[in-house]
Structure 1
Amino acid sequence: MPSPPAMLFNSYPFIFVFFPLVLIGFFLIGKRNARSAAGFLALASLFFYGWWSVKALPLLVASICINYWFGLRLSPAPGRDDRKRKSLLVVALVVNLGVLAVFKYANFFVSNVNDGLAAAGLSQIPLLHIVLPIGISFYTFTQIAFLVDCWQGKVHERSFIHYVLFVTYFPHLIAGPVLHHAQMMPQFANAATYRLDPSKVALGVAIFTFGLAKKLLIADPMGQYADMMFNGVHKGIEPTLYTSWFGALAYTLQIYFDFSGYSDMAVGLSLCLGVQLPLNFRSPYKSTNIIEFWRRWHISLSNFLRDYLYVPLGGNRKGPARRYLNLFLTMLLGGLWHGAAWTFVIWGALHGVFLMINHLWNSKVRRNIPAGPVAHVLGWFLTFLCVVLAWIVFRADGVHTAMAIYKGMLGLHGAPPSAFSELGPVPFRKPEFFQTMLVGIIICLALPPTITLERWIPHPKAVAGQPVTAWCSAAVLAIGTFALFAWCVSKLGNYSPFLYFQF
């Protein structure tokens, strides 16, 4: 990970320098020439990435150029042999996955080989010490989807500038969402995108502000306790009943508000620029079964895994047994995509098992159980419990740490009368910690997704000519949004990267 100062969405340089300059420059250039504005935005996105890591920039540029070349030759055309196109697709996929494997999984593979060599008393292989380029998983998956769609004849846009912008577009480049060309490239070809729309800017600023609040006011405070608990267990502290459960809940809220906050900020920033990013979260902790959870959580990745892994494996077309195997393999590989560690593999396997059980339940048992509020609540509780338990191994730095926390949750390490006692004097015994946790739970379970702000943020043109009450309502919303933004700005200053930057 890069060291501060970094171009984080929740940083002074980004909020008060980079984005205002990009916004102004984009629309000023767009008035004269849309293609030049697209090029300007692509260069700004490359600058944004280079600010993070100049050394990783050549890899990104090379990936874009090579995949654009592959895409042109994979598309169906008169005289092109389909067998050669398929062979070229295999080569293109091997190149992309090979690069990802080297940078992300080489040391993981070598370290596991070394464990076997050490057990056999043999000399070990030196680690490669390769630095993981930030965002490589996201831009690799984005381009793999593009290549497959080219091969299937679904891509008709051929502009290199628009392709570069599609891949590098800075709101999504570092931590997603995983974009599909059909969602983005037509917008870059639309002249209306390059004309300033005050209504979109107002809504975009509001969505960005709410995402910023999720990150700074909920995710970061929850993350402080979650880090303290997980790091303490890693150092040998045995977590008791209260500590284990509060730590697990704190991380459950941290990862949701951190990643959902990033996604909201990305949507808001993009909307200011006249571009609509796909929805990535839809209140996932309200889910009443694990199938529904994966339709609400990290939607862009779920769709990618479904369309480009589960379906090619055979989906549900080859019988129930093969369907369950495909589900399990898809989630297993989805877990490995998150990181080169056995904890991520176990997390993916857990969710694969959860999905298999859920589908088996739906086909064999559910039809005989009457639906009702009790079944709804029990379904939600069981789903949320499974998600929380799986997050533990996802966050833990090793299986030993996860097992210690699971034992603590069962009370095997004791249950002192006050929480956190084994961690010593910590600030989270203050009421603010529990208040923040309660607010986070209420937002997750009771409030609609941030994207529904579109219903509440009035369009400037719509307010004009309306009664005084409409003006007052718009003024209250504007003042409230500004106050929330000011509160968030007061929390800026600490280096607080988003969790999904590491994936």
Structure 2
Amino acid sequence: MLFPTTDFAIFFCLVFLGHWWLNHNPRVWKPFMIAASYVFYGWWNWRYVFLLAAVSLITQVAAIAVDRQHHAKRRTLALALGVAATIAPLLYFKYYGFFTVNVTNAATSFGLHVAPPLIQVVLPVGVSFYTFMAIAYVVDIYRGDFEIASWVDLFLYLSFFPHLVAGPIVRPNELIPQLVVRRDPRQIDVAGAMWLILGGLFKKVVIANYLAGAIVDPVFGDPARHSSPEVVIGIVAYAVQIYCDFSGYTDIAIGVAKLLGFRFPQNFDRPYSARSVQEFWRRWHMTLSRWLRDYLYIPLGGNRKGSARTYLNLMITMLLGGLWHGAAWHFVVWGGLHGAYLAVGHWKDGKREAGQLAEPPDTPLVHWMQRLATFTLVCIAWTLFRADSVATAVALLARTLTAWRLPSPLVTTPVLLAISAGLVTQFLPHRPAERLKAALSRLRPVPLGITVAGVLFLITTLGPRGVAPFIYFQF
């Protein structure tokens, strides 16, 4: 069930009414919300609900097993077995085909005949996201950062439909405590929720969907048919598309959760205004960045074991982060490239701290040069992310240099305006937006409803026909 659809609008209206009607009775409200979330998830394929229930069951059993162990070695063993069991469904559904194909190819290159059974497995929507949330729960129990939740709370934590299919990745301490308090409908920030939902719809429907059809899909589909300007603009357009698509989805998710009385963590903070790749990852998909830091990078040793080990830990973290996004080598290379960016940035920071490298001048011109350099590096990496193979990505990057004299019919004024709209939002001051939200919050229900209806009409008018799936659904 996609957010910007009539199906979801009807579903949410029914859930919204049931949620606030049953809010005073947790024993009824929690099963109702679990059932609603399972309906939401099963809308794509009803078989998926059994996988979600199985992961929830495994997670709670693993957490209880860890919590009952008081001997350090047994506790660690229970954690390892629990995490392995929790992640096993993800490994099977997402990586089995990738593993078998590469094992077969590697064996063939050595003259060996290895033919593991090749099974066509459909990747369930959202499995990567709720698996990471499940792992966070088990690890937090192991660390003593969180106590065992009830079975009902754990099932609702993993299945809660606003975050279920594409995040944000919500930690146990960010959501489970909210499940045990009674929400006051008078305290709901309706204007703030509608701001997020309408803004997310605009970014997704008007900007992301338009850029995908107008230039991104044609350019990445057949680079050889397009000029250098089209390829360059196509790559930049994809950077804007994926930002507007993914941040649009999470804005809608956070807004929907707000209408139900829940607070989700922020997931994007103007990432293309970053002046370094390190800063970019503090602003892009922030809940994933923090997850990788707290549950992978720091347990590997972080930066506590010398520079060489730090670079290795950064590379391992980003390689696995790339593989999390997709079972294909171009995602792995994308992650490795970002790992290299981060290692170089860490090396430069170390040199500056030691006084061996001068600090760049603290001037607006230098800041903008740093932003441009960072955006360029990120766009080069996005080419690997969007292309269907490493070879296609290399061909695209080579095409940016070799076909400047060809016509560029895809570089149109609407395309440039859509790109500009996506990028300008990264640099607008916060105050005008806050004033607009404050004005929206002062509207009475009827004027607020008219305003929302007007914005929805504008979105449907400006956006292309049809509803394209969100990019991160495939992850």
Interval of TM-score (by shorter of Structure 1 and Structure 2): over 0.9
Change (3 A) 1:476 1:30: closer
Structure 1 distance, partners of 2:211, 2:35, is: 36
Q: Note the C-alpha offset of 1:157.
A: 5.0
Q: Map residues 247-266 of structure 1 onto 2, 5 A cutoff.
A: 247-266=234-253
- Check if 1:88 corresponds to 2:78: yes
Q: How far is the alpha carbon of 1:374 from its aligned partner?
A: 2.4
How far, CA to CA, are the matches of 2:164 and 2:158 in structure 1? 7
Q: Separation in 2 of the partners of 1:459 and 1:431?
A: 32
Distance 1:211 1:347, change over 3 A: same
Deviation at 1:99, TM superposition (A): 2.3
| 2:19 maps to which of 26, 29, 50 | 26
Could you tell me how far apart the structure 1 residues matched to 2:350 and 2:37 are? 47
Q: 1:185 to 1:244 in 2, by over 3 A?
A: same
Aligned partner of 2:211 in structure 1 is 222
Report how far residue 459 of structure 1 moved: 8.6
Distance 1:406 1:347 in 2: 14
What aligned pairs does 1:29-68 form with structure 2 within 5 A after superposition? 29-31=22-24, 33-68=25-60
Q: Which stretch shows the higher mean deviation, 93-102 or 211-220? A: 93-102
Show the counterpart of 2:416: 434
Measure, in 2, the Cα distance between the counterparts of 1:208 and 1:256: 16
State the alpha-carbon separation in 2 of the partners of residues 406 and 492 from structure 1.
29
Q: Deviations over 1:251-278 (max 9, x none)?
A: 1111000000001000000000000010
5 Å matches for 1:142-161? 142-161=133-152
Please report how far the alpha carbon of residue 375 of structure 1 lies from its aligned counterpart in structure 2 after TM superposition: 2.0
CA distance in structure 1 between the aligned counterparts of 2:205 and 2:117, rounded to whole angstroms? 40
How much has 1:437 moved relative to structure 2?
1.8
Instruction: Tell me what 2:153 maps to.
Output: 162
The residue aligned with 1:135 is: 126
User: Do the aligned residues in 2 keep the contact of 1:211 with 1:260 (CA within 8 Å)?
Assistant: yes
Amino acid at match of 2:51: L
1:352 aligns with 2:339: yes
Contact between 2:226 and 2:408, CA under 8 Å: does it hold in 1? no
Could you tell me which residue of structure 2 aligns to residue 289 of structure 1? 276
For 1:369 and 1:256, the matched residues in 2 are separated by 29
Q: CA deviation at 1:72?
A: 2.0
Per-residue Cα deviation, 1:275-325 (whole angstroms, up to 9, x for no partner): 001000000000000110000000000000000000000001111111111
Q: Residue 96 of structure 1: CA displacement?
A: 2.1
Name the CA distance, whole Å, in 1 between partners of 2:179 and 2:166: 21
Q: 2 CA distance for matches of 1:459 and 1:152?
A: 45
Give 3-state SS (helix, strand or coil) of 2:106's partner. Answer: helix
Residues 1:447 and 1:263: Cα distance change in structure 2 (over 3 Å) = farther
Could you say if the C-alpha distance between residues 151 and 453 of structure 1 is closer, same or farther in structure 2, counting changes exceeding 3 Å? farther
Moved more, 339-348 or 121-130: 121-130
Distance 1:205 1:256, change over 3 A: same
Offset from partner CA, 1:122-154 (integer Å, 9 cap, x none): 474442111111111111110001000111122
Q: Deviations over 1:190-234 (max 9, x none)?
A: 11x2x323642332122111101110000001111211111123x
Q: Does 1:300 align with 2:281?
A: no
Q: Alpha-carbon deviation of 1:40? A: 1.0
Identity among equivalent positions (%) equals 36
Structure 2 residue aligned with 1:446: 428
**1:466-487 CA deviation, whole Å, 9 max, x = no partner?**
xxxxx69x99877554322222
| 1:240–1:492 distance in 2 versus 1, CA, 3 Å | closer
**Residue 499 in structure 1 maps to residue 433 in structure 2:** no
| Structure 1 residues 475 and 377: CA distance shift in structure 2, 3 A | farther
Structure-to-structure mapping, 1:231-246, within 5 angstroms: 231-233=221-223, 237-246=224-233
Asked if the contact 1:222/1:250 (under 8 Å) is kept, the reply is: yes
* Secondary structure of the corresponding residue to residue 22 of structure 1: helix
When residues 459 and 152 of structure 1 are mapped into structure 2, their CA distance, relative to the original with a 3 A threshold, is farther
Query: Equivalent of 2:8, from 10, 14, 18?
Result: 14
Question: Separation in 2 of the partners of 1:76 and 1:96?
Answer: 18
RMSD across aligned positions (CA): 2.4
Q: Report the more deviating stretch, 158-167 or 217-226.
A: 158-167
The question of whether the paired residues in 2 share the 8 Å contact of 1:56 and 1:133 is answered with yes
Q: Structure 2: 5+ residue runs without aligned partners?
A: none
Partner residue in 2 for 1:486: 457
Match of 2:197 in 1: 208
Partner deviation per Cα, 1:419-474 (whole Å, 9 max, x = no partner): 14xxxxxxx4543222222222212333559xx966643499x84xxxxxxx69x9
C-alpha distance in 1, partners of 2:115/2:58? Answer: 35
Q: Which residue type is aligned with residue 57 of structure 1?
A: V
CA separation in 2, counterparts of 1:396 and 1:306? 27
Q: 1:361 aligns with which of 348, 351, 371?
A: 348
Cα gap change, 1:453 to 1:26, in 2 (>3 Å): farther
Separation in 1, partners of 2:385, 2:429: 26
Please say if residues 75 and 155 of structure 1, whose CA atoms lie closer than 8 Å, have aligned partners that are also in contact: no
User: Alpha carbons of 1:303 and 1:123: their partners in 2 closer, same or farther (altered >3 Å)?
Assistant: closer
Equivalent pairs, count: 468
In the superposition, the TM-score normalised over structure 2's length comes to 0.93
Structure 2 vs 1, CA of residues 407 and 492 (structure 1 numbering), >3 Å: closer, same or farther? closer
Work out whether residues 229 and 411 of structure 2, in 8 Å CA contact, stay in contact via their aligned partners in 1: no
User: Shift of residue 345 of structure 1?
Assistant: 0.4
Mapped pair 1:342 → 2:329 = yes
Q: 1:386 aligns with which of 377, 382, 394?
A: 377
Counterpart contact for 1:10–1:212, Cα < 8 Å: yes
CA contact (8 A) 2:133 2:170 kept: yes
Partners of 1:239 and 1:404 lie apart in 2 by 11
Residue type at the aligned position of 2:21 = L
CA contact (8 A) 2:228 2:404 kept: yes
Structure 2 residue corresponding to 1:333, chosen from 320, 334, 341: 320
Secondary structure of the residue that 1:306 maps to in structure 2?
helix
State the AA in 1 paired with 2:18.
G
Instruction: Give the distance between the partners of 1:248 and 1:492, measured in 2 at CA.
Output: 21
Q: Does 1:457 align with 2:450?
A: no
3-state secondary structure, aligned to 2:235: helix
Tell me the distance in 1 between the aligned counterparts of 2:292 and 2:102.
26
Match of 1:280 in 2: 267
Q: Equivalents in 2 of 1:11, 1:81: separation in Å?
A: 52
Q: Is the 8 A contact 1:350 1:390 kept in 2?
A: yes
